[in-house]
């Protein structure tokens, strides 16, 4: 994969569109959009960095733009999450105060001086597309298949392979694994997949700027319908879930099932009689007791429960009980009767860590919840980033005027 396909370019001079000041153009095509961004519009901003919020779920770079009349305006533009940026080789130091940058992107619908970042051009001529990769995507170091103890080697830092858009600038196409992006043309939609709602040419991208963007919603374990069929008690638990804003939901702790996946880097450490699992999301830490054949009679309930583990050939089977009621994934609640079994194994040929999950809750679920996921060796170390949703909030639609005033 060459630098162009990785979204990294270098220019010796900024010319044409990339000039000092502010340029806003009318897009000929609709653009890929998420949240409140008006992706059917193009914006180009040049200025000097004042600070960066290197946080999850999205980072924001703040900079001062000098307008043609000489006045300055404060802008902030959204980047990907701190975790994903770090895994791509981006660092806060790249956006040190005083750094000159030019950002091409799309304006926010809710906040006049905010934007979505598609491409960043730095003062030295370096150009990075939104999905630009500055470090190797996969580790090249060799891992021993077994530890000196004879146990399979699960230890190390692990992360789900990054998903990137087939358009490196993040405006068109759909998401594909980073290892495969070079096999598609820019902005392509592979057979069997759908273009992301809001990508160029979709109705969501062409919505008026004053209207909230369409799309979104969830199912199958997202923030929409529950991921498993529920009993009447389970349905009542859904109705009783606390109402949270998007910002609160973005950073709220999940469960040992849901927090393992996604973008963060997780760590497994094997010791004598224990396996420690550290989650990059929210920094939760679990201890799996491999020196126990059964759970204690009186487990003190907790969010993570009590975990015991045993080896079945080369598979670590982790059995967890003793939960306080909470949510398993998305809007799927669980009671104190939740019972989770995880099976961890490493494929030595691909150095891929696989986790298979089965969750049962006889009080809330009518059937078992199952899922599986895979991770690769991370090229950056475990380090939980802070979470703060700084996305602008769209203003509510204006209330209808009283009949007498019309």
* Same domain, residue pair 110 and 159: no
Q: What is the pLDDT at residue 400?
A: 53
Does residue 185 sit within a domain?
no
Does residue 116 sit within a domain?
yes
* Same domain, residue pair 83 and 154: no
- pLDDT higher than threshold 60 for residue 14: no
What residues form DSSP beta bridges with 56? 387
Among candidate residues 214, 202, 215, the one with its CA nearest the CA of residue 32: 202
Does residue 352 sit within a domain?
yes
CA 103/CA 387 separation, integer angstroms: 24
Q: What is the pLDDT at residue 240?
A: 94
- pLDDT higher than threshold 60 for residue 405: no
Does residue 200 sit within a domain?
no
* Same domain, residue pair 77 and 146: no
- CATH number of the domain that 111 lies in? 2.40.50.140
214 pLDDT tier (thresholds 50, 70, 90)? very low
Angle (nearest 5°) at CA 82 between 80 and 83 = 105
Region 184-195: mean pLDDT is 92
Q: Which residues, 6+ apart, have CB-to-CB distance to 314 below 8 Å?
A: 152, 345, 346
Q: What is the pLDDT at residue 399?
A: 59
Three-class SS state of 121: strand
- pLDDT higher than threshold 50 for residue 215: no
Among candidate residues 371, 377, 376, 374, the one with its CA nearest the CA of residue 354: 374
H-state helical runs in 11-148: 82-87
* Same domain, residue pair 151 and 124: no
Residue 253: exposed, middle, or buried by beta-carbon count in 10 A (0-12, 13-18, 19+)?
middle
Contact indicator for 121, 101 with CB cutoff of 8 Å = yes
CA 214/CA 140 separation, integer angstroms: 42
Does residue 309 sit within a domain?
yes
Token pair listed for 238 = 């859904």
* Same domain, residue pair 146 and 235: yes
* Same domain, residue pair 98 and 239: no
Three-class SS state of 177: strand
* Same domain, residue pair 301 and 368: yes
* C-alpha separations of 102 from 45, 74, 99, 378 in Å: 5, 14, 10, 31
* Same domain, residue pair 89 and 150: no
**DSSP calls for 3-35:** TTTTTEEE-SS--TT--SSEEEEE-SS-----T
Number of domain units in the chain: 2
CA 320/CA 11 separation, integer angstroms: 54
* Same domain, residue pair 125 and 139: no
Does residue 95 sit within a domain?
yes
Domain with 161 in it: 135-167+217-390
* Same domain, residue pair 104 and 48: yes
**DSSP calls for 210-275:** TSPP------TTSSSS-SS-B-HHHHHHHHTSPP--HHHHHHS---TTGGGSSSS-EEEEE-SSEE
Our CA dihedral for 188, 189, 195, 201, rounded to 10 degrees, sits at: 40
- CATH number of the domain that 314 lies in? 2.40.128.20
Question: Is the link from the previous residue into 54 a cis peptide, with omega within 30 of 0?
Answer: no
> What does DSSP say about strands 326-329 and 315-321: parallel, antiparallel, or unpaired?
unpaired
Domain final residue pick, 75, 108, 129: 129
* Same domain, residue pair 56 and 149: no
Residue range 333-372, pLDDT digits in tens: 999 999 999 999 999 889 999 999 999 999 999 999 999 9
Does residue 401 sit within a domain?
no
Q: What is the pLDDT at residue 100?
A: 98
Residue range 72-115, pLDDT digits in tens: 999 999 999 999 999 999 999 999 999 999 999 999 988 999 99
Region 190-217: mean pLDDT is 69
Residue range 258-303, pLDDT digits in tens: 999 888 999 999 999 999 999 999 899 999 999 999 999 999 999 9
* Same domain, residue pair 225 and 81: no
């Amino acid at each position: 994969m060459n630098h162009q396909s990785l979204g990294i370019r270098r220019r010796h001079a900024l010319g044409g569109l990339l000039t000092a000041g502010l340029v806003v153009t009318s897009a000929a095509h609709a653009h890929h959009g998420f949240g409140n961004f008006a992706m059917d519009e193009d914006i180009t901003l040049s200025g000097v960095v004042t600070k960066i919020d290197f946080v999850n779920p999205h980072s924001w770079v703040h900079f001062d733009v000098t307008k043609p009349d000489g006045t300055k305006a404060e802008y902030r533009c959204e980047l990907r999450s701190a975790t994903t940026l770090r895994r791509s080789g981006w660092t806060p130091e790249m956006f040190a105060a005083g750094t000159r940058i030019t950002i091409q992107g799309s304006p926010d619908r809710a906040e006049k001086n905010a934007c979505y970042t598609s491409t960043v051009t730095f003062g030295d001529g370096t150009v990075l597309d939104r999905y630009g990769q500055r470090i190797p995507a996969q580790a090249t170091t060799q891992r021993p298949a077994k530890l000196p103890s004879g146990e399979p080697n699960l230890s190390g830092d692990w992360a789900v392979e990054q998903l990137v858009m087939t358009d490196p600038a993040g405006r068109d196409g759909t998401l594909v694994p980073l290892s495969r992006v070079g096999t598609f043309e820019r902005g392509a939609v592979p057979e069997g997949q759908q273009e992301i709602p809001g990508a160029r040419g979709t109705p969501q991208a062409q919505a008026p700027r004053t209207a909230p963007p369409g799309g979104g919603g969830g199912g199958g374990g997202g923030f929409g319908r529950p991921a498993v069929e529920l009993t009447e008690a389970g349905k009542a638990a859904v109705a009783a879930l606390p109402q949270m804003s998007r910002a609160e939901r973005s950073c709220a702790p999940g469960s040992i099932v849901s927090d393992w996946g996604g973008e963060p880097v997780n760590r497994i450490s094997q010791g004598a009689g224990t396996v420690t699992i550290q989650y990059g999301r929210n920094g939760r830490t679990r201890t799996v007791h491999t020196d126990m054949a059964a759970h204690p009679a009186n487990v003190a309930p907790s969010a993570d429960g009590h975990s015991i583990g045993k080896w079945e050939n080369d598979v670590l089977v982790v059995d967890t009980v003793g939960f306080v009621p909470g949510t398993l994934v998305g809007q799927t609640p669980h009671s104190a009767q939740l019972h989770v079994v995880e099976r961890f194994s490493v494929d030595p040929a691909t150095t891929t860590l696989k986790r298979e999950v089965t969750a049962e809750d006889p009080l809330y679920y009518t059937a078992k919840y199952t899922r599986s996921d895979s991770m690769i060796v991370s090229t950056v170390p475990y380090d939980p980033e802070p979470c703060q949703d700084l996305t602008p909030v769209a203003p509510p639609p204006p209330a209808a005027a009283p009949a007498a005033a019309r």
